[in-house]
Copies of this chain bind each other. A is one copy, B any other.
Amino acid sequence: MNKNPRICIALDYWEKDTFLPQVQEDKLRKISDDLHFIEPRNLQGESEWIGWLKEKKPEILITAWQTATLPENCLEEVPELKYVCHFAGSVKKTVPTSLLEKGLLLTNWGNSISRTIAETALMLGIGALRRASHWTMEMHQKGGWKDRLTVVTGSLFERKVGLHGFGVISRELVKLLQPFNVTISTFSPSVPDSLLEEFGVSRAPDLESLFSENDVIVELAALTPKNTGIVTEKLLRSIPAGGAFVNVGRGAVVDEEALARVAEEGHIQVALDVYGKEPLPLDSPFRGMTNVFLLPHLGGPTIDRRQDAAAHGIENIQRYLAGEELESQVTVEITKRIT
């Protein structure tokens, strides 16, 4: 175990401040006092970038969104580099797959930020049932107030909640739903019965049942070729009147044109943080539909919880140095599956 590895940190100022507040930077300094920071914007082009790496010879490189792409010849130029600890999620822009094929280790934030997305789903679910988007517009824009005879409000307590997909975000959401005494089912063919039992979640036999037999549907299915557009108009129309459809997963899993038609009819509430095309186009039919709660893909992680991703990365650096298996490792196979 290398006790004082050279670690380079290529984060911009805001990334450094938010991923590495003092409490996290201190953890890093306990691992090594051979730390070298660079603000990516201070390097002009690939030649200065590779030049800096050649000069520093890091064994471990910490990266995030603003880090420049690693050159394809990076490992030849900097043979000391063994492990890229990416503090963010998507690695595509940062690390070419060819470097992984040459043996570079790579991890990302994995599941460390999943709970903040679950939190968004909870807020959108409660907010949809309360018509929070409608009332925000009424109160701010139209001078509105409730009318006792027309106000419609719903609670999450005692409801039936259907989760499309049962990955880590769904599992975090189940924890947040626990105090609401809800009945949870999921459609997620690959998940084993034992995991559902552990979380007290029942299995919906098919997507049709999931949508037609729950009050609140939370969309969290992975975007695979099979899942693209799998949430059809027929499914959306089968959500019981007064119910809600919440998408904090991937927009393209849903036939969004159909969703707009169904939403327009006003029988269900919709809450969206993700869209097939982002930024959401100016002429999106969702804009202006007050029964559609819209957020601009800010489910997670929140800025104050970026440090959870750094903490996860720093634990991985400790694992790397101890020769242990890494968590959230991004392998060649995984990069090829990523949509």
Give chain A's interface residues, CB within 8 Å of chain B.
Answer: 14, 65, 115-116, 119-120, 122-123, 126-127, 129-130, 132-133, 135-141, 143-146, 148-149, 151-158, 175-176, 178-180, 278-280, 282, 287-290, 293-298, 300-305
Given contacts A135-B298, A154-B303, A279 and B145 within 8 Å (CB-CB)? yes
Are B143 and A302 closer than 8 Å at their CB atoms?
A: no
Are A295 and B123 closer than 8 Å at their CB atoms?
A: no
Q: How far is the CA of A336 from the CA of B88 in the complex (A)?
A: 59
- 5 more CB-based (< 8 A) A-B contacts, given A123-B126, A137-B140, A143-B287: A130-B302, A139-B295, A140-B288, A146-B298, A151-B296
CB distance from A223 to the nearest CB of B (A): 20
CB distance from A13 to the nearest CB of B (A): 11
Q: How many copies does the complex hold?
A: 2
Q: How far is the CA of A176 from the CA of B180 in the complex (A)?
A: 8
Q: Which residue of B lies closest to A305 (CB)?
A: B155
Q: How far is the CA of A137 from the CA of B289 in the complex (A)?
A: 12
Q: How far is the CA of A290 from the CA of B136 in the complex (A)?
A: 9
What B residues does A146 contact at CB under 8 A? 279, 296-298
Are B302 and A129 closer than 8 Å at their CB atoms?
A: yes
Q: Which residue of B lies closest to A155 (CB)?
A: B302
Most chain B CB within 10 A, of A119, A132, A289, is at A132
Q: How far is the CA of A302 from the CA of B132 in the complex (A)?
A: 13
